[in-house]
Amino acid sequence: MSKVPETLGLYVHIPFCEAKCSYCHFAIDPRRPGDERQERYLQALLREIWQWSNADTKQRADTIYFGGGTPTLLSLGRLEQVVEALGRRFDLSPSAEVTVEANPRDLDAQGYSTLRALGANRLSLGVQSFDDSVLREMGRFHTADDARAAVEFARSAGFASLSIDLILGWTGETEERWQRNLDSVRTLAPDHLSLYVLEVEGKTLLSHRARTGHLVLPEDDLVADLYRATVAGLAAMGIERYEISNFARPGHESRHNGKYWDDVPFLGFGMSAHSYRLGRRWWNDDSFGGYCRALETTGAPIVGERKLSAREHVGEALFTGLRRREGIDLASFAACYDVDPLAEFETPLRDPFAAGLLEIAGDRLRLTARGVLLSNEVFRIFV
């Protein structure tokens, strides 16, 4: 862990989606974009990237992550222009991890080959479920068969690091239905899996249904049991949990997402993108029109920023570090931040220790198995 690491992570937000899923609270542009809309966004992105740093003193970066939205709704030729712009403006490591999120039905076999050829070496597929009825309820347009075909296309195109997303705890969840998801995972043998327990929050269709009494979610105990069973089932496949929501085969952990958990700097480009460096956070306009107009006029899409106090910085480093399975190395943390976290947070830490949510294992502070399931209860003491 280092306060000023040598390399940056680069995030690029592509906001386009065919429609807004019923659970989605991200900043997106919910329409399939035509060429004019794609080109306007591309030019705004390129302006933002180009103005970031002095070309004579390129900053090193070793990860690029295209998220969204649906990055593959931007034409692959335009996506390639963004990759090239980042390569000109930053000193990219030859071994850089380049991740692109994709929906299963957006590309054919040639599309995945083109994506691989432009430099993407890690693919994250938004599968969410292998049950077609659940996918329809979520507002997804792909099917389980589309997901299976996408995995086959991606492997044939040469993607050696493949991740899929699943959502646990959807309405009507049962042990039998969830087991069918795990059976599909076993068959497809991805290298990485992101498992998200459904949260009903923000301005979403699910939140509206909850407020009006039309949403029945599974019992917390069932979801907790299924999460534990999933951890064990994935481990038996060689896919180990390395973070609360993320599982990987050895060597396939997300290096980019690791930057968020390890208190290292990252830059975000695009509508609603967030950045972090030297204890300062800042973020861009979260509307398509506002972001593009800003780059077309003032060249400044940033709409907010916050400088962390020393205590806030330590608190954030603790709760993000605790997301990892191994937790926090107390000696290294103290050396890095010049503070003993057990002393600094002695009083608020008493309750999670007493409740069996936190433990000291050797020289590390980490969540217990129960603490993983109730991690938000722990993290709120640091913010």
Give the model's pLDDT for residue 25: 84
Q: How many CB atoms lie within 10 A of CB 98?
A: 21
Predicted local distance difference test score (pLDDT) of residue 4: 46
pLDDT of residue 211: 85
> Which stretches of the chain are DSSP H helices?
35-52, 76-89, 109-117, 132-138, 144-157, 175-188, 205-211, 220-236, 255-261, 288-296, 310-321, 330-337, 341-344, 346-354, 369-373, 375-379
Looking at residue 50, its pLDDT comes to 92
Kindly report the pTM of this predicted structure. Answer: 0.94
Partner residues linked to 276 by β-bridges: 266, 281
Residue 97, both tokens: 């991890």
Q: Return the pLDDT at 208.
A: 83
Distance separating alpha carbons of residues 156 and 154, to the nearest angstrom: 5
Amino acid symbol at 18: E
In this prediction, the residues of the chain whose per-residue pLDDT falls under 50 are 1-5
- The CB density around residue 8, as the number of other CB atoms within 10 Å, is 24
Residue 2 pLDDT: 41
Q: Is the dihedral of CA 381, 348, 360, 308 positive or negative?
A: positive
pLDDT on residue 53: 65
